[in-house]
Structure 1
């Protein structure tokens, strides 16, 4: 029988130690603070509206989220981004009111708490620019890109200082999709020279306050993932389920934990091959420091995956999960963007 709380058990994974029972993202309280009169890194309303930088977004019902409005981008010339972008005055926001509402049901005694504000430095650039223009800007105007990332980092530092003060989370999450499962969108040198110095400042403002930094990188390229811990010892790297899971574990297990998101593509592949999920969760991966989360498209599929995760995952740890015998749910626990 498990003796640790969800908080104590999950913290072991973040500390690169073996948990008592199989940890899942639903073991933490997670929220993404936002509102039409609050944090607007993108939009949280139906239809089309601007974020607080002035970029137009359109809500997409099929994916349950928003994308930059097609054909409408705030920055058309990277050399003129200072004239185009608006940076918000964070001091006028109702931090106390939103923090009280968003954290009202947090169980701080028994669960770790996480706050997610997506859109890292690179993601902000390709949100306000056409993607191909952003890629070209890295090569054609590296100095302007450097100062763009610096200014966005300044905004992020201010934003996270407010979030830490009022939400008091254990963990802060920031997105940064630097590539696909096959390669990065830029050369490692471009990332190191243009983005890393400013990312370092953002990470430092988080970790210096005693909060864990959790980057989200939708990329499985090992040569990039190896560099992230150097930036400020991030404790966890959520990533698309790696096809090179054994080599990834060998490279990273000492430096950081993994949060493996089981996605729709994994479901389709398993269905086509008529294989069970446990065939994808090899023992070397299951016993390293990782936290599981199901991110499939339908409640039925998530319920199936959650059941598989709990049953098979519990065979690799000292104890079964406390909720092992409880009814399975389809809730995307740990995903603050799913209501």
Structure 2
């Protein structure tokens, strides 16, 4: 199998020849507009200011893109997908991609939940969910309309195997929202986004950091084919045991476990990789990802090197073992 064929076997819930790896086995595309900033003010199309750090960018502390949720109609300036340089973006992607790897298009990393949070801050945005749910739902609907339209252009120009969409609805302690709130405000719009992804012939991969708990089943019910990066814990393991290969995971590595501890030994790091694969990948349906080990320190760089090497060695032979032959 090529890396693409192997990856897609796991992504569809099957048992591949070897454990695929995100993003190493992928060609990743992201539309240009997500990184575009106003040259004068430095804000994006949602009036959010971003500052760089070791892990990428975060909203500027103290900056509010809007004070009240009702202001989104005046503040947000959605780009017009029909005016984007899809021909140029497609050409650059074609020139840079490896034909043997899977093609993944990043529709969004901040969406119907996180965009309002990034605009208002956590406290005000979560209060608005409780105090002004109709306004927040209207904003979520508008964001979803935009993403559905962008997905159509991605399908026409990029032809991805998988489209990635994401929102961090959870933290280490659990979801930020009650199940009823999620179902009312967000679930219908996530389903519309996933339906748009499926309509272009791609698999839908949904990213959510943290302890997702009940959200895993909600994501699947919304049409997610792959759940990316739910925090490994007893609840996720129970879901995996019950749902089997219906629950395809990108992740598996415990970012809060001993392998990620400061100055963890090489053997501890390597053991954490083997544990992740043994726990979540024994029947397939696992795409390994360490979650993007943060930092540029020597300790972080050592961890990255050990993790990737162990995935290649252990994961490369994992399904060749007796009883684990691909079906």
* TM-score, normalization by structure 1: 0.82
For residues 275 and 19 of structure 2, what CA distance do their matches in structure 1 show? 16
* Matching residue within 114, 120, 131 for 1:123: 114
**Structure 1: distance between partners of 2:97 and 2:260:** 34
Deviation at 1:246, TM superposition (A): 3.0
Note closer, same or farther for the CA distance 1:200–1:312 as it changes in structure 2 (3 Å cut): same
Q: 1:204 to 1:304 in 2, by over 3 A?
A: same
Q: Equivalent of 1:300, from 302, 305, 316? A: 302
| Cα distance in 2, alignment partners of residues 318 and 70 from structure 1 | 50
Which residue of 2 is the match for residue 85 of structure 1?
76
Residues 1:152 and 2:148 are matched in the alignment? no
Q: Give yes or no for the alignment of 1:10 onto 2:11.
A: no
Which structure dedicates a bigger proportion of its chain to helix? 2
1:236-278 C-alpha deviation (Å, 9 max, x unpaired): 1111540325324213424231011647544333855873325
Instruction: Indicate the residue corresponding to 2:172 in structure 1.
Output: 181
SS in 1 for 2:58: strand
Q: Find the aligned partners of 2:52 and 2:62 in 1 and give their Cα distance.
A: 15
Structure 2 counterparts to residues 258-269 of structure 1, below 5 A: 258-260=249-251, 262=253, 265-266=256-257, 267-269=259-261
Structure 1, unaligned runs of 5 or more = 320-339
Q: 2:29 aligns with which of 28, 31, 37?
A: 31
**Counterpart in the other structure of 1:291:** 287
Deviation at 1:153, TM superposition (A): 0.6
Q: SS where residue 147 of structure 1 aligns? A: helix
- Normalization by structure 2: what TM-score? 0.85
> CA–CA distance in 1 between the matches of 2:273 and 2:19?
14
Q: How does 1:167-316 map to 2 (within 5 A)?
A: 167-232=158-223, 234-244=224-234, 246-260=237-251, 262=253, 265-266=256-257, 267-269=259-261, 275=268, 276-278=271-273, 280-281=275-276, 283-288=278-283, 289-294=285-290, 295-296=292-293, 297=295, 298-316=300-318
Gaps of 5+ in 2: 322-327
Alignment: residue pair count: 307
The 1:168–1:47 alpha-carbon spacing in structure 2 relative to 1, beyond 3 Å, is same
Residue 282 to residue 165, structure 1, CA distance change in 2 (3 Å): closer
User: Secondary structure of 1:214's partner?
Assistant: strand
Write the deviation string for residues 267-292 of structure 1: whole angstroms up to 9, x where unpaired.
33385587332563363423131011
Going from structure 1 to structure 2, the CA distance change for 1:211 and 1:262 (only over 3 Å counts) comes to same
Q: Distance in 1 between matches of 2:39 and 2:123?
A: 27
Q: Distance in 2 between matches of 1:104 and 1:14?
A: 25
Q: Distance in 2 between matches of 1:13 and 1:210?
A: 17
Matched residue, 2:320: 318
Contact 2:277 2:315 in 1 (8 A): no
